[in-house]
Structure formats: C-alpha cells, structure tokens
Amino acid sequence: MAWGVCQAWVACWAESMRCRIVQTLLECVEGDITAQEVDAIVNAANESLLGGGGVDGAIHRAAGPELLEETRRLGGCRTGDAKLTRGYRLPARYVIHAVGPVYRPDDPDVPRLLASAYRRCLEIAQQQAFASIAFPAISTGVYGYPQAEACEIALHTTLEFLDQSTSLRLIRFVLFGAPAYSVYVQTIQRMAQTDSRLHVLD
Ligand code: ADP
C-alpha cells in the first residue's frame, strides 16, 4: 500500500479527541489499552487481583506470567482502591490495578466507589511522578455500569483532580469500540460548554 493511502487509512480508523486542561492533555481514543505507550495503564481488576476476563485478562496475557507473580503478593485490593505493579512485557512501564464496583442501580455507594477507584489511580500516578496514564472504562464491562453514567464519573473525578498541580501531562481514556468512544466525545463536548478550563483542541 502506498504511504499516503496508508496514512489516510490510519487517520480514518484511529478515532481520537484531545482537550487541554491547564498543562495536562486529556485524550480519548478508540483502541486497546494493552498497546498504550505510557508510564502506567490502569487495569479494571477484581478484588483478588489474580486476573480475570475482559481488560484484566488482556493485560495479564500481554504482560506475561510475571505480572500474576507480582499481583499474588499484593493480598488483593478493596473496591474503590488501586495498587501498583510493574508492566513487564507491556509497552507501559507500570500497571495500576483499580477495583471498580459492580453496578447496582439502587446502591448510593456505587458512584462514590467508582469515583474513588479513578481518584486512587490518579493519586498513585502523582505519588510516582508519572507524566502519562491511560484508563479503560472501569466497571462498564462484566460489572455492568452504564457507559454514560460511568463516563460522567470518570471525567468529573479527573477534572476535580486537575484542580491541584500535577506531574501528569497526559491522561488518556482508551475506549473499546465506537459506541463507548462516542459517549466520551459527547460528554466532553457538553462539559466544555460550562467548564472554562476545558479547551477542546480537535
Ligand atoms: P469490569 O469488570 O470493570 O466491568 P471489563 O474488563 O469487563 O471490566 O470491562 C471494562 C471495559 O473495558 C469495558 O468497556 C470493555 O469493553 C473494555 N475493554 C475490554 N478489553 C479492553 C482492551 N483491551 N482495551 C480497552 N478496553 C477494553
């Protein structure tokens, strides 16, 4: 395939949207979290930290068996919290394993626990002085959280975190499939209308 044609094909296929908040670039991309070349990717893990399906399984397969050896030593993780490991064979140097809640529409604790999972990842990234982090849509697969509600929580928690100064220069949301990606794009566009700190770049 000629280079120009190849570039055009990549441009159509690779959906992405970028915004700036103070000194941090906030990106949404449609893609695979295991391919992200960032300081840390976030895993949507379960309390055992011993691997599972969905994004958890994909991360363990791509990182190799050393990741399970390390997570076995961590003694699990409570819902709403997160723990750090190395990234092993992943392009990302580290993995932050976050445990989001199982969705229960009548439980008022559920939104708080999802926000806490995102906040703990950002706090760990800050403690480690990371410059870049990539998140999947935590709890929106097997754990059943509706994509639009989870997206609001992910973005509000991130914006609240960015009220303080941070080492993070790139926060990327990696969405698996076009429907999840468009939920993020639409939510950001709506939030940018009322939040003057949020500048949509493209
Ligand atoms: P949870 O148990 O927290 O719901 P899942 O892994 O079942 O976690 O799903 C979380 C989200 O991650 C879902 O929206 C799913 O489509 C998405 N997902 C699955 N695999 C990947 C991947 N390789 N990269 C990015 N997102 C992924």
C-alpha 89/C-alpha 57 separation (Å) is 14
Domain boundaries, the chain: 24-194
Ligand 1: which atom is nearest the Cα of residue 144?
A: 4
| Pick from 38, 46, 104: nearest CA to 80 | 46
What is the average pLDDT across 167-184?
Answer: 97
Element (H, E) at 42: strand 40-45
Q: What is the pLDDT of residues 109-138, one digit of tens each?
A: 999 999 999 999 999 999 999 999 999 999
The whole-number pLDDT of residue 59 equals 98
126's tokens? 């800050």
112's tokens? 């708080």
| Pick from 149, 166, 28: nearest CA to 100 | 149
The whole-number pLDDT of residue 7 equals 45
26's tokens? 């906030």
Give the ranges where 51-137 is alpha helix by DSSP (H).
54-63, 65-72, 109-127
C-alpha 85 – ligand 1 centre gap (Å): 19
pTM of the model: 0.93
For the domain spanning 24-194, the CATH number is: 3.40.220.10
As for ligand 1, residues whose beta carbon falls within 6 Å of it are: 32-34, 44, 54-56, 58, 100, 136-143, 174, 176, 180
What is the average pLDDT across 26-55?
Answer: 97
Atom 17 of ligand 1, residue of closest alpha carbon: 176
